[in-house]
Amino acid sequence: MIRSFVKSLKSPTAQGRISEGQPIAVLDIGSNSVRLVIYERHIRALTPIYNEKVACGLGRGVGQTGALAEESVERALIAMRRFALVCQLTKVGDLHILATAATRDASNGAMFIAGVEEIMNTNVRILTGEEEAYFAALGTIAGMPQQQGMLGDFGGGSLELAILDGVLPGDGETHPLGAIRLQDDSERSASKAYKIARKTLASSPIMERVQHSEFVAIGGTWRALAKVHQIQTAYPLSMVQGYRVDADKMIDMCSQIIELADKGEWPEAAQRLSSNRKDLLSFGAAALNAVLEVGKFKTVKFSALGVREGYLFGQLDSAEQEVDPLLQACEELSILRSRSPSHAHELIEFTNRFVAAMNYDENQVLQQLRYAAC
């Protein structure tokens, strides 16, 4: 009887999963790493259910040879075969594959992309530098609505800059100043990498148009710098999203990292980083130092969201883009975990009446937090 009952079951929805919609995935082929992120479904507040990165170093040597190294390509394609199986097992509905600087600049990039498309059975979109800047900025705005300033997306092969006006991304540009590219071009000298970045950015048209005092930093190497700063200052939280530091303090830390790197040393806080990330840390420090000095920024804020999230945000219709991501995420958590999800809305109505009766002057931010708590 049990055997016949099991056979009669349809594929059940896993516990702790929202039943509506299929998982959606983004495969990000970067110059330093290849990363697959699968999200529970395509909505405003994305929930990652799978996130794996493989350090392939596709951008290694491209600036000197003009081509992707064979060992890097082989490492990446091996990862693709596993990623294809993961997408199949998790029943991904839509798979978006984005390729950035390394494949865009390499003479054998088209051959590599053809191999990826054969394994993953879908087309690869090779982003231009301007598109990369646009989607990185869109991802930042998705995670930080109304954010203004300038965005920098620091990858392995390139640095993208874009204006943030709080609603839609402004103009963008790209520079060959990624971590791997700087490491190669400077012959592994962090101080020389700083000079290269400073000279390149000094002639940047977009840098001359800086109107806001805040710089928003995206990219794994720059997030690692934020982690190092958090450790050094005993910051009580571990999250990087929204972490803000005075620019002069970050410049001081970056200068110290560059100085130590030229001696073959790292700050003690960097010992907690992976070997790959630690190896590139000083070149991230060189680029960030140059950006903050040339742009004369007052603060730097770090974003954990970038091209992947920006690309998916851009696929949503305008009504879905306007949804409050915090409230949507809290409501999903309520649906998954609470005994009576409808009680949340009852509680919101009750507290609305309470706030009105108390004549409390509640601004929009406090109202949002109250609704989220309910």
Report the 10 Å Cβ neighbour count for 243: 19
Distances in Å between the Cα of 210 and the Cα atoms of 146, 161, 267 are 17, 11, 32
Give the tens place of pLDDT for each residue, 118-137. Answer: 999 999 999 988 899 899 99
On whether the CB atoms of residues 214 and 148 are closer than 8 A, the answer is yes
Cβ contact 36:50 at 8 Å: yes
Residues 6+ apart with CB under 8 A from 31: 57, 58, 59, 62, 100, 101, 102, 155, 156, 157, 158, 178, 180, 181
Model confidence at 97: pLDDT above 60 = yes
Residues 32-55: tens digit of each pLDDT? 889 999 999 999 999 999 999 998
Q: What is the pTM of this model?
A: 0.85
Domain boundaries, the chain: 21-126, 146-309, 337-373
**Token pair listed for 134:** 């646009």
pLDDT at 73: 92
152-202 pLDDT, tens digit each: 999 988 999 999 887 777 778 999 999 999 999 999 999 999 999 999 999
Q: What average pLDDT does this structure show over 19-23?
A: 81
| DSSP 8-state code for residue 209 | G
Same CATH topology for 21-126 and 146-309: the answer is: yes
Superfamily name and number for 21-126: ATPase, nucleotide binding domain (3.30.420.40)
Distance CA 333, CA 95 (A): 25
307-to-27, 36, 282 alpha-carbon distances in Å: 11, 13, 23
Residue 245: pLDDT over 80: yes
In the prediction, which pLDDT does 3 show? Answer: 45
Q: Are strands 169-175 and 159-165 parallel, antiparallel or unpaired?
A: antiparallel
Range name among 82-86, 329-333, 369-373 with the lowest pLDDT average: 329-333
CATH number for the domain formed by residue range(s) 146-309:
3.30.420.150
User: Can you tell me whether residue 152 is helix, strand or coil?
Assistant: strand
Cα 336 to Cα 16, 20, 48, 67, distances in angstroms: 6, 12, 15, 48
